[in-house]
Chain A
Amino acid sequence: MRLGFSAGDEAFRAEAADWLADQMSGEFRDIKDVLGLTVMAERRKEWEQQLGRHRWSCIGWPSKWGGRDATLEQQVIFAEEYARSGAPGRVGHMGIELAGPTILAFGTEEQKARFLPGIASGEVLWCQGYSEPNAGSDLASVRTRARVDEATGEWVVDGQKIWTSLAQICDWIFVVTRSEEGSKGPKGLTFLLMPIDQPGITIRPIRQINGDAEFNETFFDGARTAAENLVSTPGNGWQVAMGLLAFERGVSTLGQQMGFRHELDAIIAAAKANGSASNPLIRQRIAKAEIGLRLMRYGALRVLSNTDHARPDGAALTYKLQWATWRRNLGELAMDVLGQAGEVTAGPDYDFPMLPSLFLSSRADTIYGGTNQIQRNIVAERALGLPREPRGNA
């Protein structure tokens, strides 16, 4: 067991830190410390491309596809240095962390050649089409239909997805569809890659409780995609989707923690500025938040260090509950530190600063990606081996 890094890794750290510092003090200083993913979208796209041009976009990928073949240590280091530099949240993250790894794992050589370079270069942004209205966390109850147009061989999709993050600025979407008439649950699903900018797809932003609109409703009305944009085989979509969810538990968790660090630092600064940092109760809660954040880091490192991929790692299954609950508590702490000052904002719009907005937006954390209740079922059933919840379609 070793937490320190080698001299070679430290040299890599210096290289990454220098480059990021140059960017954030130079050409891209206007987007330093920007967090919300819909803020300054055009500049954020340019930043994705800048990362891609210098091969910093998805360093863990094979160099053949625009990565650096980076080791686990290097990926950890880059996530840390990225956080330290104040570089903004990645609008390309769904392509880099989800679509790309899925294509790497399940795609054909043609699909890799077609899609991976665009993701790595930051020129093509992706979003995720999983959730549907009324389906909630029951991912297997997909109703969006896909069929093959016999004349052209294309896939034709009808239905609706919801909670599609960043669909309004993305170029492609990956969609789980039902392709076998009358099939139920995880059977008969098909995983498709689709261009968003087409007449068959309509995107309608959903205004959220914080006034922002990161999520969208996405309507498919005879939307089309070419035959070669099928991933794996028809009917095998569930396996692809589940494999994709597994990618969410990788190094990306360390990247996510960079935002958390930033938020907690802002709370600490606010507490020191208004004097609440001397309140013993607030100090206890800030200390708890600090400890929780550190434990997320070491939990992620522990999961990443587990090379025994044959054994399901219980710790990985607990991560969603861990961070979602932690961040919801953080939002409440933010408001308790701010007091009534957190209730008002300058300007005519419902546009709150980071900390009050954190309080509101963090209510989504314990819902999306599987609610805390669903997550507890997953931990209890898969990690602890308790009897399954009765399922209607099982």
Chain B
Amino acid sequence: MQFAFTEEQAMIAETARAFFAGNATSERTRRAMEGDGIDRDLWASFCTELGLAGIAVPEAHGGSGLGLVEFATIAEAAGAQVAALPLLGLAMPARAIAAGGSEAQKREWLPKLASGEVIAAPGGSHDQRVGDGKLTGTVDFVPHGGIADMFVLASPEGAWIVRADAPGLAIERPVTMDQTRPLARVTLTDTPGDPLPDWQAGLEAARAGGWICVAAEALGGAQATLDRTVGYAQERVQFGRPIGSFQAYKHRLADMMVEIEQARSAVYWAACAVDEDSAEAPLALHSAKSFAADTYCRCAGDMIQLHGGIGFTWEHDAHLFFKRARAIRSMLGDSDWHREQVANIIGLGEAA
């Protein structure tokens, strides 16, 4: 038992932190928001210069073969800057293929995903019909679906790799509240899909990766809202004192920190439990997703309140955090749903 980063993990975390802090600036993120929601230059240097895109991909397929703990440190650093990157494509489709794909599928896709040459997006729906190897149905709210080259789409009956240029596939790109991760609608009409042979294993790996990814983003984002608000509290003077000297203000910041430290425990507990294949992993994952998402929402809301009027403006970055936080809370199962899973796991029996 050693619930602390190894030296290598600490190095990856620090590298990722410096990379995102230096490159995923507010300016660049805002430029991406005005376009299709991705900072392509950032994505290219993330994949090629740092080689961090392959972090959750096995070494045999061009990845670094590291685990979710390492992936979480990267998602945390990206989340701290609300970076406009299709990280979920790595957390979910890449892991789904690695865990549940055929050898041919792994060979074809994993190196391209690790190098950033191909951008993937995850999707799930209950109303896909399958017939003759072709898919028909609608998949809503696909993160970065508007720019993806391929999808891994899941339903209760299976999971399929679908190319964005496949026949019968249409994409709508509604305006999304969080413009750093636009949500697309993918409509399939007799669209060919390549099924994952062990789709349950693929789905399980994708879910764990997705929950860890957004929970870690939430942790990084929440910490950033606290850091920035602490900075503001020290420089902003009202009534002749820095506002951070007022108890009503500092107590709120302290409460943010209490929540964030718990979220940190939650994220790394879950990532570690999955990496160690622990029996606690499901409980840890549901705990992490719900707790970190709620923490981020509360902290981002507090950031706006504690900044006063400036925090409500488009010019200030507070809304980037606020919107990302809200999006994370809604996606991949909301907090109540995850807590209901916890209730089941701990043996509360059936809900009324």
Contact = CB atoms under 8 A, between A and B. Distances in A.
Interface stretch (A220-228, A328-336, A379-387): A379-387
B148 to A, nearest CB: 32
B170 interface: no
A236 interface: no
Interface string B252-290: 011101100110111011001100101000011001001
Given A278-B351, A295-B265, A302-B3, A287 B257 contact: no
* Interface class of chain A by DSSP: helix
Interface in B204-227: 226
Interface in B146-160: none
Contact of B339 (A2, A284, A388): A284
Contacts of A43: none
Given A2-B1, A4-B276, A315-B261, A279 B352 contact: yes
A394 interface: no
Contacts of A76: 1
B251 interface: yes
Contacts, number: 168
A279 B348 CA distance: 10
Contacts of B278: 3-4
Contacts of A306: 4
A55 interface: no
Nearest to B338: A287
A45 B276 CA distance: 41
A307 B278 CA distance: 25
Interface residues of B, number: 52
A72 B4 CA distance: 13
B257 A379 contact: yes
Contact of A318 (B247, B258, B347): B258
B230 to A, nearest CB: 5
Nearest to B271: A1
* Interface class of chain B by DSSP: helix
B339 A387 contact: no
A280 B351 contact: yes
B261 A318 contact: yes
Interface in A367-382: 373, 375-377, 379-381
Interface string A64-83: 00000000110010000000
A200 B233 CA distance: 51
Contact of A291 (B3, B342, B348): B342
B262 A322 contact: yes
A384 B253 contact: yes
A312 interface: no
Contact of A307 (B4, B251, B290): B4
Contacts of A299: 261-262, 265
A277 B348 contact: yes
A389 interface: yes
Interface in B1-50: 1-6, 9
Nearest to A388: B245
A330 B2 CA distance: 29
Nearest to A306: B4
B261 A386 contact: no
For A1, A290, A315, A384, the residue with the greatest tally of chain B CB atoms inside 10 Å of its CB is A1
Contacts of A386: 230, 233-234, 244-245, 250, 253
A376 B253 CA distance: 8
A304 B351 CA distance: 38
A376 B351 contact: no
B265 A314 contact: no
Contacts of A268: 346-348
Given A1-B9, A268-B347, A305 B3 contact: yes
B255 A376 contact: yes
B242 interface: yes
Contacts of A350: none
Nearest to B6: A1
Interface string A284-318: 10111011101100110110111100000011001
A83 to B, nearest CB: 16
B294 to A, nearest CB: 9
Contacts of A284: 336, 339-340, 343
Nearest to A320: B258
Contacts of A5: 1
B132 interface: no
B264 A315 contact: yes
A283 interface: yes
A321 interface: yes
B315 interface: no
Contact of A1 (B244, B253, B262, B268): B268
B262 A387 contact: no
A204 interface: no
A322 B256 CA distance: 11
Contact of B234 (A286, A287, A307, A387): A387
B340 A384 contact: no
A251 interface: no
B346 A295 contact: no
B251 A288 contact: no
30 contacts: A1-B4, A1-B268, A1-B272, A2-B2, A3-B278, A277-B348, A277-B349, A278-B352, A280-B351, A280-B352, A298-B265, A299-B265, A302-B265, A305-B2, A306-B4, A314-B261, A318-B261, A321-B255, A321-B258, A325-B258, A373-B247, A375-B254, A377-B254, A381-B250, A383-B257, A384-B250, A384-B253, A386-B233, A386-B244, A387-B242
Interface of A: 1-5, 9, 72-73, 76, 268, 271-272, 277-280, 283-284, 286-288, 290-292, 294-295, 298-299, 301-302, 304-307, 314-315, 318, 321-322, 325, 373, 375-377, 379-381, 383-389
Closest 6 CB pairs of A and B: A380-B250, A287-B339, A387-B245, A379-B254, A376-B254, A298-B265
